[in-house]
Structure formats: C-alpha cells, structure tokens
Amino acid sequence: MKKVRKGTNLSGNGLYLPFSMDLKRFRILAARKKTKLTGFLTKLDDIVPEDMPKLVAKTDATVWNDVDCTSCANCCKTMTPTFRKADIVRISAHLGMKPKEFVDKWLEKEEDGDWVNKQQPCQFLVDDKCSIYEVRPKDCAEFPHHNKKPFDLYNDTFIQNLHRCPATFTLVDRLMKAVEKEYEW
C-alpha cells in the first residue's frame, strides 16, 4: 500500500479526502467557484435535465467517498439549525431539562418565529462532534438536504450552503461538470 501524505488531494476535485478536511482551503476554493456554481444552480431553475433525480443520486453517492461530515462540522460552526417544538421537547428531555429551561438557556426566537441557537458555533459541538447526535434537531439530521425532491426546488438552499458545506460544494461542482458534459447547456 502506498503511503499518502496527510493533506494530499486524491479526489481530483480540489477537495481533500475525509481524513484531512482543510476548511481554510475549502473556503478559498468555494469563494473562487461560488459565482460559477451559483450561476449553474440558477440556470437549473429554468432548465432541468430529464434524468436529474437519477443524476443527483448517482453523483451524491460519490460525494460521500470524499467528504466526511465528522471531520468537518463546518455547519455546526457557521450555521444554526431551526429547532421545532418536537426537537425542543426531545432534546430537553435528553438533557434532563424542562423545555422552557432549554429555550431560555440556549435558544432565541427570530422575527419569523423560528427558534435558533443564541450562539455559534453550536453549544452542542464538542471536539468537532455533536454531543446530542442521537437526539439532534431534525434540521441537523436532514442536512445538507441533498435528498430533497425535486432537487431543483432547493437551489436557493444549496446556493446558501456552497461556501459552508464541502459536501454541497462537491455535489454541485460535480453535477455542473456532468450536466455540461452530457447535455446541451
């Protein structure tokens, strides 16, 4: 077996493999490609390849060979989930707190009525791991939302996450390359 130096780019897409997630490098690459990838997603609002669901599923499966969320946690560092009532009840019970105590200690209400974390990074992020993973909010469990259907209805979400989530960045970058190669675009 060949030795690979930590940080070596083996994936061929400009990102590092899971064992060496380099968020600084990711942010630079995401900033450089954001306009092009945003343009692709915006165009995808109007022109959707017929086999897009199949293409998304196939491409997304390759993403997880190169991106490991547990070595990243950038979403927990830079974003806040929305806490639904069921999340609050479940998490507070897990922590041995009353829901009101949980809300008062950790959450704030946004203008639109959503409950979100008071702070970033997330208070439950410990050593880049979620300390309440088994009972985490639904919003966290569904992130990065690649399985939402139809995919193109969530382009605004993906645009927002391009610079925050290496998995979303990688998925959109690979989809763009595949669509440009296989279709009249």
The answer to the question of residue 67 being in a domain is no
Q: Which of 155, 28, 7, 163 is nearest to 175 (CA)?
A: 155
pLDDT in tens, 116-141: 999 999 999 999 899 999 999 999 99
The per-residue pLDDT for 96 is 98
Q: Are residues 90 and 132 in the same domain?
A: yes
Q: Work out how many domains the chain is built from and give that number.
A: 2
Q: Are residues 130 and 147 in the same domain?
A: no
Whether the predicted pLDDT of 14 surpasses 80 = no
Q: Are residues 115 and 153 in the same domain?
A: no
pLDDT in tens, 50-93: 889 999 999 999 999 989 888 899 999 999 999 999 999 999 99
Domain that holds residue 154: 32-59+73-79+143-185
Of 142, 159, 174, which one is at a domain's C-terminal end?
Answer: 142
Q: Which of 16, 35, 7 is nearest to 167 (CA)?
A: 16
The answer to the question of residue 95 being in a domain is yes
Whether the predicted pLDDT of 3 surpasses 50 = no
Q: Are residues 122 and 154 in the same domain?
A: no
Q: What is the pTM of this model?
A: 0.83
Of 124, 142, 160, which one is at a domain's C-terminal end?
Answer: 142
